[in-house]
Amino acid sequence: MTTGPGERDERILVRLRVNGVEHAVRAEPRESLAELLREKLRLTGTHVGCEQGACGACTVLLDGASVRSCLLLAVQADGHEVTTVEGLASGASASHPLRRAFTDNHALQCGFCTPGVLMTAYELLSTRRGLSERDIRVALSGNLCRCTGYQGIIAAVRQADEQWERDVPDQQHTDRQHPDRQH
Specify the pTM.
0.84
Segment 147-172 mean pLDDT: 87
Which residues are 67's β-sheet partners? Answer: 60
For residue 172, count other CB atoms closer than 10 A to its CB: 8
> Could you tell me the sign of the dihedral formed by the alpha carbons of 75, 79, 85, 87, in that order?
positive
Mean pLDDT computed over 19-23:
97
pLDDT at position 60, please?
Answer: 97
Specify which residues 24 forms β-bridges with.
15
Packing angle of the helix pair 97-104, 114-127 (nearest 10 deg): 130
Q: What rounded mean pLDDT belongs to the chain?
A: 87
In this prediction, residues 161-182 reach a mean pLDDT of 62
* Window from 119-128, 151-160, 169-178 with minimum mean pLDDT: 169-178
Kindly state the helix (H) or strand (E) to which residue 123 belongs, with its residue range.
helix 114-127
Q: Tell me: the pLDDT tens digits for 84-137? A: 999 987 655 557 889 889 999 999 888 889 999 999 999 999 999 999 999 999
Query: What does the pLDDT read at residue 178?
Result: 39
* Cα–Cα distance for residue pair 156/48, rounded to 1 Å: 23
In sequence order, what are the residues at sequence separation of 6 or more whose Cβ sits closer than 8 angstroms to the Cβ of residue 142? 54, 56, 59, 120
Query: Model confidence at 7, in pLDDT bands (50, 70, 90)?
Result: confident
User: Of 36-40, 68-72, 112-116, 171-175, which range is least confident?
Assistant: 171-175
Res. 175 pLDDT band, cuts 50 70 90 = very low
- For residue 83, pLDDT over 70 is answered with yes
Close Cβ partners of 45 (under 8 Å, ≥ 6 residues apart): 84, 85, 86, 89, 115
